Structure 1
Amino acid sequence: MSYTVAEFITLRLKQLGCYHVFGVPGTSCSDFIDSLVVDPDMKFINSVNELEAGYAADGYGRQGSLGAVSVAYGVGTLSMANGVASALTERVPLAVINGGPTDKDLRLEAQYDVLFAHSTGFGKTDLNVFKELTLAAEEIRVVEGAADRIDHLLITAIEQSGPIYIEIPQDMWKKPIGDFSPTLSYSAKRFDLGVKPFITAVVNKLEQATSPIVILGAELVRFGLIDEALQFVESQNLPFYTTLLSKSLVSESHPLFCGVYDSDLAPSTVTRGVESSDCVIALGCLFGIDHRYMVTSLADKLIRVAFNKAMHGSKVLPKLSLGTSLEALNKLPKIVVENRKISSVAGLSYQERRAKWGAKLAPDSYTGTLGHDGIFAAIGDFLDEVKSPYYICLDTCLASFPGADIPVTDTQCFLANPIWLSIGQGTPAAIGAYYATQKRPLIVTGDGGFQMVSQAFSSFVQDNIPAIVVIIDNGSYAIEQFLIDGSFFTEPGTPPLDYVMLNGWKYENMPHVYNGGIGLRVTTYQDLLGALQYAHARPDQPCVIAAQIPMTDLPAENREFLGI
């Protein structure tokens, strides 16, 4: 059977487990989109805008598959660049498939200085930009060898877990691709140069340690290594934590699970368990600014391997793969002593996980005026009550801190953006997560982040995605106020910064604008719990819930930080 270039890429996406491509129609990619539409196994998801498409593909790729996105050249691709940067930073396999200028377009621009559609006039802008935002970026201008080059790029996205960029001239989509292998076969490269010094460091630390722990990270999901990691922690009886990026990687009902270390602002039981450990083994973890204190303060007590790089403290070991590391770790004899108290949080409610905050909780957090802690208490109680497999998407905002403590017993059902920290990512990323998992999204977002991507609610309506969106409505970019000038929260009468203030939206009226769904506004814990129950009973509709809280409200950990 003869395949065109467009049909070949469609085939390869399917072979890599990608059955949904997100995008916005454009003439430069229309022939590729046509190949998706006629394929009964594929679906092109028409996004409201390009940034939404990029975030959705990012959310899809986080579920152990390959995300894919295709939008118009120039005006489309540059609009979604932030979504691709998110995938690069947090190591998500994703393919950007772009239709580029033809040879005639480039010749006429060079000869007559007349721009082709969406050209900046300053060279191959898309290609140059995405060389900086992907693991590999190529334009493929001739059919000869195209299949092998495309295969190499797609394999790179999978093997190295990150985004790649493929640019095809728009008059080449329908050309025959020529001969190619009917299957995409490859063997993942594994590096073992550093295995001996890594294992030596682990054994030496474990033999001397009195409080060793493990932190499990997102690479375990990306490469399907969760079982191997669990084998290690269980065989050595090691308490383990996750990062916010890897929350729900393992069910939080596991008896060795001790919490989410999202930063040094985590609950004291978590920070004490991690930061006071004399041996921390981090497997597949990405560390960002919120982990800086932990990483630097532990120094050589921290041994880690992730994405082919192993380190002992600040010392970089020879190249080593996570899979190879786990194979070696699982051959070790029993080292860790058994008679240690493990501070597991399995079975604890949200309120119980955060009980140590005590007086730092805002007054009446769970019964009176709604605040950050009350919002998550209601969500935790709701999830415990309904026992349904929701997919939780937590956007970057002040809620990122208490959101880490939502009890999750399901697996691979949580998404956040804690390394790249892009506000607004969570809502559209939920679209991709929904198509990859079919779990109903439960999104928690700040009002500032939601206003950036609010059109995603239109996609929920159009595509019958029954998402529940809880908007923390405090009328400001509260996280920026906290980071720039915390005196607003500590000194009564201090005005907020002018530039963090938001126009107050009536979010509950959005269903009227977007022609579908449910809109609600709540001000108390009981109201929010009732609203969640109301939305849950209507699984055929999306719902937006504006959770109105005082502008001065802070989560307990932020109050602790400011000394309130």
Structure 2
Amino acid sequence: MRKSVGTYLIERLQQLGVRRIYGVPGDYNLEFLELIEQAEGLTFIGNCNELNAAYAADGDARLSGISAVLTTYGVGDLSALSAIAGSYAEGVPVIMISGIPPLHAIAQRALLHHTLADGGYENVMNCYRQFTVAQARLVPQDAAVEIDRVLGAAWREKQPVYLQLPSDTCCVSIAAPAGSDISPQPGSDPVQLQAAVAEIVRRLEQATRPVLLLDALVRRYDLGAWVRQLSEMLDIPFATLATSKAALCETSPHYQGIYGGKASSPALYDLVRQADCVIGLGVRFVDATSGYFSQSFDSDAFINIGAFDVRCGTDAFMGVAAADLLDGVLAHLAARASSSPTTKTTPVTTTEVPGKAIGTAEWGQPAFWARIQTFLRTGDVVLADNGTSLVALTHMRMPAECHFVSQPIWAAIGYTLPALLGALNASPERRHLLFIGDGSFQMTAQELSSILRAGHRPVIFLLNNRGYTIERMILGEKAAYNDIANWDYAALPDVLGPSGGAVCLRAGNADELEAALRQAEDPRHLVFIELAFEPMDGPTGIASFGGVVRRYDYGAFGEG
């Protein structure tokens, strides 16, 4: 069967579950956009710029499993690159497609617009090789093979990939394989799998103080059901790193809170430090998730389960898929439990007490976040932008079935506003709450227009500290470089969207907050709430966090 390259690419995208492609039109991708317009079940979502488009695709993929973004060559690619790098750091499968100049122009090294006008056409590809797990320039002779290879890598590895689609290749017909699966899971080596299962079961049976540490792998590979069953079967307490917040239900009696080394609660820090079996699910200790590398536990007792390997102390088992491994461990434990009683551990609850409504005389971020704890409800999608919002919400207990979206590793401010658009498109039936600071908002504010254009109804909390509060906590409390223009934020929805498309509110005290939250409980329109705080007003613990960062980054120079 013969199909055009563009048609085959669209069909393969849909086969993986892609339902939306975000992006910006450009002269090199218009023919592909024509095909998208004609495709049933696939929608192009136009964005204000390519950076926002890639952020939106990332937000979509975190709820739907996979998404795609379309740009034009050069200017579009490099605009989106920072967002794609963030998807790589955080493990989000985003398929980046670039409409590039025609093959005949590339062969002739023609000096075209959107290039460096030096005849070179490898520089952008070289950039993307650093931030994606697979790349290809689609040419007619091997387009089908390359599409399947690259898309399969995105699906299996849960990472971004990059495809260049030359403008004169999109509608060229090719021999297209029919019916083959482009995303087979690699499966496990049976010998390695059996050995890994036996070693983990042995360690669990000998342990008296086991604990589970969850990272982004759990949500990325949909391992929650296996991990929950393991925790419940043996009464093993679990904690999550900031990168996997709400990956398992935080109302579970086994949930112990967010682990971040010495930034954890003292009880949780001691629980992990004293554990005689620590089972990690894809654990990576970066500065932001480890209290600046202050994690402490017995390395010989550490089992770290990766997507396709597992390490038990100094032993490594390669070619073992995480789902197969957990299946095998649970089967062994269930079989042994049926023949002999299993000694269970007793989980120790270390989570924080939920917040309460604030008094009328109280105002400030600690009181605000305590009130927000009571505003959250089952099934919410909660987005926290980097800064005071992420610091506060990371240590707040989420209700059952919530989905938490943040970017603690790449930590690009402004990520969550366009990511909100993607999350809303992926799961429009759920309530979405965005918490974003004024500095973060100014980075990507224009994408609010796309959210309004689509008729979405999230609740957006804009924390206005008149500048970069989290940076002030690190250095430059009164420095001009941490100041920003003080926009009239609550007026923006009426500028960026249809008149009456949003309910715009301001709160500068507890009574005004309560009035705003009452309107936000059942929004019939987008609800935008601007919250006025003083420049150094932040959640509990942020000042000490700033000190840790200052000492790590600047040493003695930061204390002057």
TM-score (norm 1): 0.87
**Stretch of structure 1 that moved more, 313-322 or 28-37:** 313-322
2:242 and 2:289 in contact (8 A); partners too: no
Q: 1:511 aligns with which of 493, 496, 502?
A: 493
1:366 and 1:377 in contact (8 A); partners too: no
What is the CA distance between 1:118 and its match in structure 2?
3.8
Q: Which residue of 2 aligns with 1:128?
A: 126
TM-score (norm 2): 0.88
Q: Which residue of 1 aligns with 2:519?
A: 534
Matches within 5 A, 1:458-537: 458-484=449-475, 488=477, 496-516=478-498, 517-537=502-522
Q: Deviations over 1:141-185 (max 9, x none)?
A: 2x2231121011111100111011111111111111323223535
1:77 is paired with a residue whose SS is helix
Q: Which residue of 2 aligns with 1:548?
A: 532
Q: Deviations over 1:347-385 (max 9, x none)?
A: x75328xxxxxxxxxxx976545333223222221224x
What is the CA distance between 1:217 and its match in structure 2?
2.8
Q: Which residue of 1 aligns with 2:215?
A: 217
What is the CA distance between 1:312 and its match in structure 2?
4.1
What is the CA distance between 1:200 and its match in structure 2?
5.8
Which AA in structure 1 matches 2:540? A
1:511 is paired with a residue whose SS is helix
What is the CA distance between 1:32 and its match in structure 2?
1.4
Matches within 5 A, 1:18-29: 18-29=18-29
**Stretch of structure 1 that moved more, 295-304 or 126-135:** 295-304
Q: Which residue of 1 aligns with 2:269?
A: 271
2:517 is paired with a residue whose SS is helix
Q: Percent identity at matched positions?
A: 26
Q: Deviations over 1:84-140 (max 9, x none)?
A: 011111111111111112123224435xxx334444534422211111110011111
Taking only aligned residues, the RMSD between alpha carbons, in angstroms, comes to 2.8
Instruction: Return the alpha-carbon distance in structure 1 between the equivalents of residues 221 and 41 of structure 2.
Output: 24
Instruction: Return the alpha-carbon distance in structure 1 between the equivalents of residues 364 and 49 of structure 2.
Output: 32
**Distance change in 2, residues 1:45/1:257 (3 Å):** same
Instruction: Return the alpha-carbon distance in structure 2 between the equivalents of residues 457 and 184 of structure 1.
Output: 38
Q: Which residue of 2 aligns with 1:492?
A: none
Task: Tell me whether 1:413 sits opposite 2:384 in the alignment.
Answer: no
1:71 is paired with a residue whose SS is strand
**Distance change in 2, residues 1:274/1:434 (3 Å):** farther
**Distance change in 2, residues 1:182/1:543 (3 Å):** same
1:97 is paired with a residue whose SS is strand
Which AA in structure 2 matches 1:508? A
Instruction: Return the alpha-carbon distance in structure 2 between the equivalents of residues 551 and 298 of structure 1.
Output: 42
Instruction: Return the alpha-carbon distance in structure 1 between the equivalents of residues 474 and 298 of structure 2.
Output: 25
Instruction: Return the alpha-carbon distance in structure 2 between the equivalents of residues 116 and 451 of structure 1.
Output: 30
Task: Tell me whether 1:350 sits opposite 2:332 in the alignment.
Answer: no
What is the CA distance between 1:538 and its match in structure 2?
2.6
Instruction: Return the alpha-carbon distance in structure 2 between the equivalents of residues 270 and 229 of structure 1.
Output: 19
Task: Tell me whether 1:381 sits opposite 2:381 in the alignment.
Answer: no
Matches within 5 A, 1:318-467: 318-330=318-330, 331-332=332-333, 333=336, 337-338=343-344, 340-343=346-349, 345=351, 350-351=354-355, 367-384=360-377, 389-411=379-401, 413-438=403-428, 439-467=430-458
What is the CA distance between 1:529 and its match in structure 2?
3.6
**Distance change in 2, residues 1:298/1:457 (3 Å):** farther
Q: Which residue of 1 aligns with 2:305?
A: 305
**Distance change in 2, residues 1:336/1:432 (3 Å):** farther
**Distance change in 2, residues 1:366/1:100 (3 Å):** farther
1:264 and 1:291 in contact (8 A); partners too: no
1:351 is paired with a residue whose SS is coil
Instruction: Return the alpha-carbon distance in structure 2 between the equivalents of residues 473 and 267 of structure 1.
Output: 28
Q: Which residue of 2 aligns with 1:184?
A: 181
Instruction: Return the alpha-carbon distance in structure 1 between the equivalents of residues 155 and 362 of structure 2.
Output: 47
1:440 and 1:465 in contact (8 A); partners too: no
Instruction: Return the alpha-carbon distance in structure 1 between the equivalents of residues 364 and 192 of structure 2.
Output: 48
1:238 and 1:336 in contact (8 A); partners too: no
Q: Which residue of 1 aligns with 2:556?
A: none
Q: Which residue of 2 aligns with 1:288?
A: 286
Which AA in structure 2 matches 1:543? V
Instruction: Return the alpha-carbon distance in structure 2 between the equivalents of residues 177 and 528 of structure 1.
Output: 60
- Where structure 2 has 5 or more consecutive residues not aligned to the other structure, the ranges are 549-560
Q: Deviations over 1:272-314 (max 9, x none)?
A: 4334433221113443212343545553333211233433457
How many residue pairs are counted as aligned between the two chains? 534
**Distance change in 2, residues 1:319/1:480 (3 Å):** farther
Instruction: Return the alpha-carbon distance in structure 2 between the equivalents of residues 467 and 272 of structure 1.
Output: 39
2:72 is paired with a residue whose SS is coil
Instruction: Return the alpha-carbon distance in structure 1 between the equivalents of residues 109 and 28 of structure 2.
Output: 17
What is the CA distance between 1:344 and its match in structure 2?
6.2
**Distance change in 2, residues 1:53/1:6 (3 Å):** same
**Distance change in 2, residues 1:187/1:397 (3 Å):** same
2:275 and 2:297 in contact (8 A); partners too: no
Q: Deviations over 1:481-538 (max 9, x none)?
A: 22336xx4xxxxxxx2221111111111112321342322212344324313313333
Which AA in structure 2 matches 1:5? V
What is the CA distance between 1:221 and its match in structure 2?
2.2
What is the CA distance between 1:203 and its match in structure 2?
4.4
What is the CA distance between 1:316 and its match in structure 2?
5.5
2:141 is paired with a residue whose SS is coil
Which AA in structure 2 matches 1:404? T
**Stretch of structure 1 that moved more, 15-24 or 235-244:** 235-244
1:406 is paired with a residue whose SS is coil
1:92 is paired with a residue whose SS is coil
1:22 is paired with a residue whose SS is strand
**Distance change in 2, residues 1:157/1:131 (3 Å):** same
**Stretch of structure 1 that moved more, 159-168 or 267-276:** 267-276
Instruction: Return the alpha-carbon distance in structure 1 between the equivalents of residues 147 and 255 of structure 2.
Output: 41
Q: Which residue of 2 aligns with 1:147?
A: 144
Instruction: Return the alpha-carbon distance in structure 1 between the equivalents of residues 415 and 261 of structure 2.
Output: 20
**Distance change in 2, residues 1:196/1:558 (3 Å):** farther
Matches within 5 A, 1:67-216: 67-109=67-109, 114-119=111-116, 121=118, 122-141=120-139, 143-192=140-189, 195=193, 198-199=196-197, 202-203=200-201, 205-216=203-214
1:262 and 1:404 in contact (8 A); partners too: no
1:392 is paired with a residue whose SS is strand
**Distance change in 2, residues 1:166/1:369 (3 Å):** same
Q: Deviations over 1:528-550 (max 9, x none)?
A: 243133133333x2222121112
**Distance change in 2, residues 1:57/1:561 (3 Å):** closer
1:231 is paired with a residue whose SS is helix
